[in-house]
Structure 1
Amino acid sequence: MSQTLKSQTSTAYSAGSSRGRVLLGTVLAQLGLGTVYAWSVLNPALAQRISGDHTQTFPIAITFSIMMISLSVSTLLIGWLQHRFGVRRVLVACGIVLGAGLLVSAFTTSLWMLYLFAGVIVGAADGIGYLLSLTNVLRWYPDKAGAISGVSVGSYGVPAVILPFIVTPVLGNADSGYAGLTTCFILWAVTVIVLIGGGGLLLADAPEIPKDHSHASHEYTIAQMLRRPQAYLLYFGITAFCFAGLFIIGHAGDGAITADDPSKYLIGTAITLVSLVGLVNTIGRFFFGWLSDRVRRTLIVAVALSVLAVFAFVLGLTWLPQPALYIVGFLLFGASFGGCITIYPTIVGDFFGKNSQAKNYSVIYQGFASGALITLIFNILMAQKIITFGTSLLIGSAFLAISAVILFMVRKPGPVE
């Protein structure tokens, strides 16, 4: 950033709400919003309630895929919602709607009701709140985009680390019929309303970033962006790593099914694995955010995709492998997904302009929906025993390899024509 832009930015932020308060509100909101990534720890309990068999988790895992699709598609509304209502009101509403969806889910015994309320409604509220608060805080800190993205999106990953250990004593186990499932949902609903709503009250809409004359010509509208091949290449890349990450995170709790007896589900191992995936996911968010202020961001994503492609191939060939191998694989996928999703908004801002970042990224972010849709299709195929988990990983490894090549080659577009 030039000295002129730094001076203009500092002046723009000297009045109105402090950036620190907005950052605090964003972190609180992201902590509440990120609770959805602990979903897979509830899969066995929900399977027990709905089907009477805690090992039948694939139909329940579809809920997470629906949630992620709804999360992504809903973000197309953030530009209109922020313009119409402002970031504060929208975030408070997201907290209330998300909590309401969880409260209904607490009492349902219908798979389709679970898909609607936990999948569609919770996903939509989460997506709008996540991306709107993230892009808003990035505009408050254009001089520290990578680090602030790491803090914000890192906060989104924290709940997946700690919630499994909090949920387990309340949830119970298969022998007890998971008697605490309803209580878990109610406590979850109250928590997200307080965190997202309370955080939202601290937010304020960011001022427009002053334009350095050398960068003003790179502010793309959505229509102008979609005329550039880079938009589609970035879309393909986010689809790849979102599929890989969501597929692994959605089944982290299932990784405790033993190879010699698939009906045996080791609850303690599942809780630990879900938390470990959440931990490295969060570390990846902070680390990639920090690193992206020092290394070309597309190069970071390309290297991560390359590593995942190799490991997906190895893991797919040996599933179910020795426990150490699939645990390391799950951790690599979790860390890379968290890191890549953290720096991607900044990549879009670098390529197509920071003032138009929210609207432009909401379009590129639909690659997240595509990744979730592919995950959903694979979950359905696995539930029907048409393909195995290992086969899914082998297919995914080819997808990841192609995406890695794309991210190695893609470069920032020139000025707007």
Structure 2
Amino acid sequence: MANPVASRTRAFTLLGTIITQFALGSVYTWSLFNAQLADKLSEPVSRVAFSFGILSLALAVASSLSGKMQERFGIRKVTIASGLMIGISLYLTGHATNLIMLYIFAGLLVGFADGTGYLMVLSNCVKFFPERKGLASACAIGAYGLGALAFKYILMYLLTTTGLEMTFEIWGFICMVMVIIGGMMMTDAPKQEVKNNNAAGSRDYTLAEAMKCPQFWMLAVMFLTVCMSGLYVIGVAKDIGENYVHLSMTTAAASVAIIAVGNLGGRLVLGVLSDRIARTKAIALALFVCLLGVCALLFAPASAMSFYFAVACIAFCFGGTITVYPSLVSDFFGLNNLTKNYGFIYLNFGIGSFIGSIVASLFGGFAATFYLMLGLLIVSLAISLTVKAPGTEQDDFTAEPLAVN
């Protein structure tokens, strides 16, 4: 019979994680503020929007460091500190008077606060549900996506009724309270028992050990591919619709809602599916759907329907992969060091957010990035169909970490 105290601890940690993720996901409403911030600071929108690129990179870096912070201070203290920091940094963002202050407050501080909480609480929650890792991940990351959708309407209302500065203050206060309440409900997950045999998934790899395995870098390549494709298209979907597919502004803007639905659908569908089939197969399915979307952008006749189909496919892949990946990394390298191992791979989230834009600016537009996405997706799909966890008898690669001279 299940221990009622342990069951209650799991349930409270899951609920606290959902509340925290819901608040942290609100940073993905950032595009709502670009125009008003540009007017306030008398700067071009493109320069103001760059703050979100800094935020994404800071989020990824903080995610890679959060495992160390949890080890030293515990999940509750670090999450509460994350809540305090995001509240203060959003307040400061509202009072920024120049572009440098905006980059520091909105980019570095908000990103670091969000990243500190995001991956740590997600990984901790997944550890509590080793038999339902995909479902637990789907609940947590689904809350992150829903937070972005819900806060969009809250913040739009505040912007029209209270003004820019007050909106940031209220937003910061709401997020701070939610993250602190969520953090107080959490408990550090117990260490998983490590068995001393050679079965796949029976041992835990430290980050140093995992990085010596070729599979680690293969997972990193797949993650980079999905993040670059998803973040680039999500970030400039309206512009792609107007300038590449030649749709009207209203028709192109409808892609925002389609992306939100596709993103959330991917998180829920693939999160649940990944508990029923091999997670590498779930990722392969996501990559194949994304490949269909990119092919539609490159080769289908330009139309609203082909454009909507493309962005829905890419958003579905992005949301689903982000959901499945923590569980996939734990399948390959164990649960106990998940925050560190996935945290390093998660750096590709920040790197990917820059690559698409850089390629587009260097090589003259959207098509160059789409062809890069196409090539990377083909490579990643091949990896997803062949890669196996370290230590499996069928593994085509070395079963032990690679030796280093």
**Shorter-chain TM-score tier:** 0.7 to 0.9
Q: Which residue of structure 2 lines up, in the alignment, with residue 4 of structure 1?
A: none
Instruction: Give the TM-score of the pair, scaled to structure 1.
Output: 0.85
Q: Which residue of structure 2 lines up, in the alignment, with residue 195 of structure 1?
A: 178
Q: Which moved more, 1:228-237 or 1:353-362?
A: 353-362
How far residue 360 of structure 1 moved from its aligned partner, in angstroms, is 1.3
How far residue 376 of structure 1 moved from its aligned partner, in angstroms, is 5.1
Q: Which residue of structure 1 lines up, in the alignment, with residue 267 of structure 2?
A: 285
How far residue 195 of structure 1 moved from its aligned partner, in angstroms, is 1.3
C-alpha spacing 1:324/1:38, structure 2 compared with 1 (3 Å): farther
**1:261 and 1:303 mapped to 2: Cα distance?**
30
Where does 1:126-137 land on structure 2 (aligned, <5 Å)?
A: 126-137=114-125
C-alpha spacing 1:341/1:259, structure 2 compared with 1 (3 Å): closer
**Which of 80, 88, 95 lines up with 2:76 in the alignment?**
88
**2:216 and 2:152 mapped to 1: Cα distance?**
37
**1:51 and 1:117 mapped to 2: Cα distance?**
18
**1:398 and 1:307 mapped to 2: Cα distance?**
14
Deviation by residue 1:178-207 (Cα, 9 ceiling, x = unmatched): 983333322221121111111111111111
C-alpha spacing 1:396/1:300, structure 2 compared with 1 (3 Å): same
Q: Does 1:18 align with 2:9?
A: yes
Q: Which residue of structure 1 lines up, in the alignment, with residue 137 of structure 2?
A: 149
C-alpha spacing 1:314/1:217, structure 2 compared with 1 (3 Å): closer
**1:21 and 1:81 mapped to 2: Cα distance?**
21
C-alpha spacing 1:232/1:413, structure 2 compared with 1 (3 Å): same
C-alpha spacing 1:41/1:365, structure 2 compared with 1 (3 Å): same
Deviation by residue 1:316-356 (Cα, 9 ceiling, x = unmatched): 4679x433332332222222111101110111100011122
**Which of 318, 323, 326 lines up with 1:345 in the alignment?**
326
C-alpha spacing 1:303/1:155, structure 2 compared with 1 (3 Å): same
Judge conservation of contact 2:79–2:117 (CA < 8 Å) in 1: yes
Q: Which residue of structure 1 lines up, in the alignment, with residue 23 of structure 2?
A: 32
**Which of 139, 156, 166 lines up with 1:168 in the alignment?**
156
C-alpha spacing 1:396/1:41, structure 2 compared with 1 (3 Å): farther
Q: Does 1:237 align with 2:227?
A: no
Deviation by residue 1:57-90 (Cα, 9 ceiling, x = unmatched): 4333322222111111112222221111110010
Aligned residues, how many? 392
Q: Secondary structure at the match of 1:18?
A: helix
Tell me the percent identity: 33
- Which amino acid in 2 is paired with 1:182? E
Judge conservation of contact 1:244–1:396 (CA < 8 Å) in 2: yes
How far residue 131 of structure 1 moved from its aligned partner, in angstroms, is 0.6
C-alpha spacing 1:260/1:371, structure 2 compared with 1 (3 Å): closer
C-alpha spacing 1:234/1:257, structure 2 compared with 1 (3 Å): same
Q: Does 1:205 align with 2:205?
A: no
Q: Secondary structure at the match of 2:194?
A: coil
How far residue 255 of structure 1 moved from its aligned partner, in angstroms, is 5.9
**1:250 and 1:104 mapped to 2: Cα distance?**
24
- Which amino acid in 2 is paired with 1:208? K
Where does 1:242-261 land on structure 2 (aligned, <5 Å)?
A: 242-252=227-237, 254=239, 257=242
Q: Does 1:306 align with 2:275?
A: no
C-alpha spacing 1:239/1:221, structure 2 compared with 1 (3 Å): same
C-alpha spacing 1:306/1:16, structure 2 compared with 1 (3 Å): closer
**1:378 and 1:182 mapped to 2: Cα distance?**
35
Q: Secondary structure at the match of 1:77?
A: helix
**1:72 and 1:360 mapped to 2: Cα distance?**
13
Judge conservation of contact 2:83–2:176 (CA < 8 Å) in 1: yes
Deviation by residue 1:266-310 (Cα, 9 ceiling, x = unmatched): 5x974x543432232122111111000011111221222233234
Q: Which residue of structure 2 lines up, in the alignment, with residue 218 of structure 1?
A: 203
**1:158 and 1:18 mapped to 2: Cα distance?**
24
**4+ runs deviating over 6 angstroms:** 258-262
Which consecutive residues of structure 2, in runs of 5 or more, have no partner in the other structure? 392-398
Judge conservation of contact 1:281–1:339 (CA < 8 Å) in 2: yes
Judge conservation of contact 1:235–1:366 (CA < 8 Å) in 2: no
C-alpha spacing 1:185/1:252, structure 2 compared with 1 (3 Å): farther
Judge conservation of contact 2:239–2:252 (CA < 8 Å) in 1: no
**1:181 and 1:104 mapped to 2: Cα distance?**
12
Instruction: Give the TM-score of the pair, scaled to structure 2.
Output: 0.87
C-alpha spacing 1:65/1:86, structure 2 compared with 1 (3 Å): same
Give the aligned CA root-mean-square deviation in angstroms.
Answer: 2.9
C-alpha spacing 1:17/1:77, structure 2 compared with 1 (3 Å): farther
C-alpha spacing 1:137/1:387, structure 2 compared with 1 (3 Å): same
Judge conservation of contact 1:70–1:124 (CA < 8 Å) in 2: yes
- Which amino acid in 2 is paired with 1:287? V
**2:57 and 2:136 mapped to 1: Cα distance?**
26
Q: Secondary structure at the match of 2:336?
A: coil
Q: Which residue of structure 2 lines up, in the alignment, with residue 365 of structure 1?
A: 346
Judge conservation of contact 2:296–2:310 (CA < 8 Å) in 1: no
C-alpha spacing 1:330/1:48, structure 2 compared with 1 (3 Å): farther
**1:154 and 1:359 mapped to 2: Cα distance?**
22
How far residue 311 of structure 1 moved from its aligned partner, in angstroms, is 2.1
Q: Does 1:411 align with 2:402?
A: no
How far residue 375 of structure 1 moved from its aligned partner, in angstroms, is 3.8
**1:287 and 1:260 mapped to 2: Cα distance?**
29
Which consecutive residues of structure 1, in runs of 5 or more, have no partner in the other structure? 1-6, 173-177
Judge conservation of contact 2:229–2:314 (CA < 8 Å) in 1: yes
Q: Secondary structure at the match of 2:61?
A: helix
